[in-house]
Structure 1
Amino acid sequence: MIHIVGRGRISQFLRFFFTHFTIFPNRYFVTILFSSTITLIKYIKHHHRASSPMVIGTTPINKILINLISKASNTFPILLSNNFNISLVRFMRILSSKLFSSSFFLTDLHSIHKKDSPSGTSLYLANLFKIKRIDSIRIGYQSGTHIMIEENNIPMRTQHTSYTPIDFLPGLSMAIRLLQKKSMGLYTLSDI
């Protein structure tokens, strides 16, 4: 059984998708959280007794939540990701394999319905690379786009866009399948 926690756009999409399409055997048990940090804390504390896998896509995640999630992962498997788009994971691998000597500016474009600003993905990119500044823009129904511009003599622009919540399904499916094989531990999409 797949249990979706959250009231946002992504949670609603996932609830609809998993209600109308069967892509996993009934023996798969997982809780998927795209919710507020308060709900996340409540579920992790309650979930200790259930010990079934948990996928967390809640942002922003602070050090207190990381400690709580790490402690819980000693009891049941957890996959934590701020973005389930597999192409973004590949995008970050390519960027991190390059040796960038300068810093970056990051533009974070999302629709007006995006609640966190900057997005969790932008904060992750800021930690991964030398990001000098993040400009978060919320406009219309803009797809989630992250544009990194390298600041050096020859500017380089790198961009990644997620067009629809369907873009997250392959990564989420891979996460669910990975966790079914684990008894405990903390994982990311990089582990897939």
Structure 2
Amino acid sequence: GAYGAPGGDDVGRAYVVFGGDFSARVVQPGTDGDDEILGTAGVDTLLGGRGDDILRGLGGADVVYGGPGDDAIVLTGPALFRIDGGTGQDVVMLDGAGIALDLPAFLELAVVGVEAVDLTGTGDNSLFLEPRDLRALSKTSNLLLVLGDDGDEVVADFSDAGFVDLGSNNGFHDWSDGVLTLSVADEVGLFVEP
């Protein structure tokens, strides 16, 4: 029980209540085919099916489950609550300009099942990450591929994590600790705190 509470039959008893305010709604569940599922500006739950789906949030703190298949999860802003790409080769795409996807600012494991991030959008976008984010992202590999163009940037805080610069090869600049690898397109600005 609580400090100072009298003893009795309920000492040490705890209750766990699952639920929420149910304000997030499933917009449209995916099917076995390739679907395009469009969210709203509010808080939504987007559920992909078995196909190669496109799940597009429109700025709310959405929950997105890609499911099986190679899915594209499109964000028009930095707000999100949870992304799980599911199985397959899944990509988070930033659709807009000035979007800063700051993974360390979210709860650990808020973004999982993602093998690539595409910063291209319509202007300059950025990705911030730490080793914990690399560990959590992919369910199938220890590699995160980051795509983008001039003006986009990746800021990686690898302080005291043992990451080394492997240089540029085949158009991508790699940093690795021997297990995890960050591979960033050469066009994208890369700022690493080793």
Given the two structures, how large is their TM-score scaled by the length of structure 1? Answer: 0.28
Of the two structures, which has the highest relative contact order with CA contacts closer than 8 Å and spacing of 6 or more?
A: 1
Given the two structures, how large is their TM-score scaled by the length of structure 2? Answer: 0.28
